[in-house]
Structure 1
């Protein structure tokens, strides 16, 4: 459904910002709406995050948490939002389970945050999004890629700086066929992330003439892949796509035992992990040599990387850090543009500050342009954002990674996506 986004766009051309607050879900722009978890409207932008501190995506937690805190630090050095510093961020675990993520959001809402950064996993964001929407808080994720969000009826409260898998699927398909494969089995996690990327990849493969004899979902928490492996083996494909997280190592190991080689394997960002080789084999990291995958490109932003390293010297993984940083900055700039910390109002400025104005690359630079009455186009740590109507990038760069004989992934190419229309 596109109703929430379409209505917001029409409202922007028809009514003032306070009326938009009412369209967002019952806020009349006057008294506080704390009964629904509404904004305190105290002039202080308060943020919380929901990131994986445990569970199968725990390796994504540190860079996203540090990027959130780093962004807030930089914003506060520049004078804060609406002339006041952002308080210390309130954080909680998503844990890879809906019940954990929901309990975390309840804690954040109980502390009356204005905006929530996260979750990392698409499934966890979908588990909490309706609750966030009902509370009239703005949510922004730097790593949600499931296509589901594009048409989700979120009343204009949800945004993401990570690209949809609709953009990634064709690049993954081109990588596979470019390696000479034309019969491809696809197996995927039976969740929104897995289904969305699998379907985008299948469509792109078939569009270039490849055949997909197996399109098999599995339960994300399963430990038995025998039936899936048997179906793939019997189809005799020359390549296998695994849209998986950590469990993909167990699936891949079973496929190797069935006669497949790692250079027939393809995946996405969910299996781009420094510890992936050890999950396949503790004694032989070369077992995954030749395994390829795709994901949103790591940004070559030396200034950002060095700044984040100085802020958190212990940080070793930077996956999605630029995108998360940009979530915080866009939210802060939207509040500046709306002249309020009320999320039911500043949500209407989230798209606007990323396009069609004067280029700027830092919070301070963009904020000063806003004070001068100018429209801005924030190009962030992750590059140009140019949010489309659903509040997401319309184009991006996709990187192709490959595991070497030491079990480490290397970026072998970066490819621009085709813009969404």
Structure 2
């Protein structure tokens, strides 16, 4: 069993490539009947059938991220089953529950999914919701894999070797965001972030990168995301006299952006930036109803989710109603890595296949599909699964050692556009 060790890495940013923007959302179509059962230690007993569950947002602030992630789970399962399944048997229908953006609900959902005896859980989407369930899941010796947790907290988390993520740590995203700001000619930067592990983690990573490049951080403040009035946050930004401001938030960030525009520090006056939590095709309409062009020029960064055109086409054929694709490739890769690890371990027992998840993502013969990778494993070949979200190359902490980060913007009509992607790597 690999255990999380303290990995402290410097970050470099490399290779820029233009990509075509794409976007996508839909229904989950999953069984959502609650069992009410409590988790059982070692719920996955190795019965020869790989059983999966998810805890993902069906309601709450991140509900727009639910459809692409849920459908990515469904699509991955169908792809695996069409290729013969895992251990020669199909993966059964996935048991799904709502994380809802509330710790108590997420915890109850995890209890219900664990109670069905799953071998692995996909999710949660939000870092805060994963922190609400990680001890339950990994403590039950069940694998947890998130496609969208980016808080640096998880790198060193004591999870017994059962937690993994295909989304990159914000240690990788922060420098790209900082370089974007500095590249636009800004040198006095205000940072505000929601007061949780995601917000603080990305704010600190961005702050360090900004200061390391010679910029002055005039404000670095965490705010209560459950506040009813964000005017004090806006006034702090304005009072710091920045030439650029970064808002690291979820849905509540729209209120901060509204206040900034009303106070004369919108994208027309200073550089305004966001991150993955605000990357939403509807953001401009939510911020300025009837006049989405007011957000024109705002930029941000996010783990790239739309770079693989072949995957995008296949997913949209599978789920035509999708209108948002963020983190769908990363979630798909969670399911694939788990399934391939079970194949390599020749067991659906998470105490056995958890040891193989890192191994199937690096140092072997390259393969990109479940069918090809599975055939190589059956032939006794070590594999290196390169996912639809990119090369995974997991570190011993169970997370990508590099990431492709998208730089996005909003145009004069308030439409979300991808400007470019940048590869960010850990120096290990």
CA distance in 2, matches of 1:187, 1:212: 11
Once residues 102 and 327 of structure 1 are traced to their aligned partners in structure 2, the CA distance between those partners, rounded to angstroms, is 21
1:340 partner SS: coil
Which residue matches 1:315?
322
Aligned to 2:185: 180
SS in structure 1 at match of 2:3: helix
State the Cα deviation string for residues 204-227 of structure 1 (Å, max 9, x = none): 000011111111111111121122
TM-score, L = length of structure 2: 0.90
Residue in 2 that maps onto 1:362 = 369
Q: Which stretches in structure 2 are left out of the alignment for 5+ residues? A: 7-38
Per-residue CA distance 1:309-355 (angstroms, 9 max, x = gap)? 11111112111111100000000000011110000111000000000
| Aligned partners of 1:269 and 1:294 also within 8 Å | yes
1:152-209 per-residue CA deviation (whole Å, 9 max, x = no partner) reads: 1110000000111000000100100111110000000000000000000000000011
Alignment partners' CA distance in 2, 1:221 and 1:352: 41
Note closer, same or farther for the CA distance 1:110–1:313 as it changes in structure 2 (3 Å cut): same
Cα offsets for 1:81-135 (capped at 9, x unmatched): 0011000000010000101111111110110000000111111011100000111
Q: Does 1:38 align with 2:37?
A: no
**Partner SS state of residue 221, structure 1:** coil
- Please give the residue correspondences for 1:340-355 in structure 2 after superposition, counting only pairs within 5 Å: 340-355=347-362
Q: Is the 8 A contact 1:296 1:396 kept in 2?
A: yes
Is the Cα contact below 8 Å between 1:395 and 1:420 reproduced in 2?
no
**Structure 1 match to 2:28:** none
User: 8 Å contact 2:3–2:397 — kept in the other structure?
Assistant: no
Q: After TM superposition, give the deviation of residue 258 of structure 1 in Å.
A: 1.7
Aligned residues: 393
CA–CA separation in structure 2 for the residues paired with 1:37 and 1:337:
20
> Matches of 1:406 and 1:384 in 2, distance apart?
35
Work out whether residues 37 and 110 of structure 1, in 8 Å CA contact, stay in contact via their aligned partners in 2.
Answer: no
**1:292 maps to which of 295, 299, 302:** 299
Q: Alignment partner for residue 416 of structure 2, among 396, 409, 412?
A: 409
Aligned position for 1:111 = 116
Comparing both chains, which one has the higher relative contact order based on Cα–Cα distances under 8 Å and sequence gaps of 6 or more?
Answer: 2
**Distance in 2 separating the partners of 1:355 and 1:53:** 33
SS of corresponding position for 1:39: coil
Q: Does 1:164 align with 2:138?
A: no
Q: Deviations over 1:255-276 (max 9, x none)?
A: 1222212252101011111111
Who is 1:269 aligned against? 276
Structure 2 SS opposite 1:36: coil
Unpaired runs of 5+ residues, structure 1, are: 8-33
Partner SS for 2:221: strand
Say yes or no: does 1:77 pair with 2:74. Answer: no
CA distance in 2, matches of 1:354, 1:35: 29
SS of the residue 2:144 aligns to: strand
Per the normalisation by structure 1, the TM-score is: 0.91
Corresponding residue SS for 1:4: coil
Q: Does 1:5 align with 2:4?
A: yes
Which of these residues, 58, 70, 73, is aligned with residue 65 of structure 1? 70
Counterpart Cα distance in 1 of 2:315 and 2:71 = 8
What is aligned with 1:50? 55
Matched, 1:256 2:261: yes
**Which residue number corresponds to residue 31 of structure 2?**
none
Q: 1:244 aligns with which of 246, 249, 256?
A: 249
1:333 aligns with 2:340: yes
Inter-partner Cα distance in structure 2 for 1:114 and 1:374: 25
Question: Aligned pair 1:192/2:191, yes or no?
Answer: no
Deviation at 1:37, TM superposition (A): 4.2
Shift of 1:72: 0.3
Residues 299 and 381, structure 1, Cα contact 8 Å, conserved in 2: no
Cα pair 2:100 2:106 within 8 Å, conserved: yes
Q: CA deviation at 1:280?
A: 1.2
Is the aligned partner of 1:280 residue 2:279?
no
Q: Give the drift of 1:47.
A: 0.1
Runs of 4+ in structure 1 displaced over 3 angstroms?
Answer: none
- By how many angstroms is 1:308 displaced? 1.0
Task: Measure, in 2, the Cα distance between the counterparts of 1:248 and 1:281.
Answer: 13
Instruction: Check if 1:210 corresponds to 2:215.
Output: yes
The 1:35–1:401 alpha-carbon spacing in structure 2 relative to 1, beyond 3 Å, is closer
Partner of 1:223: 228
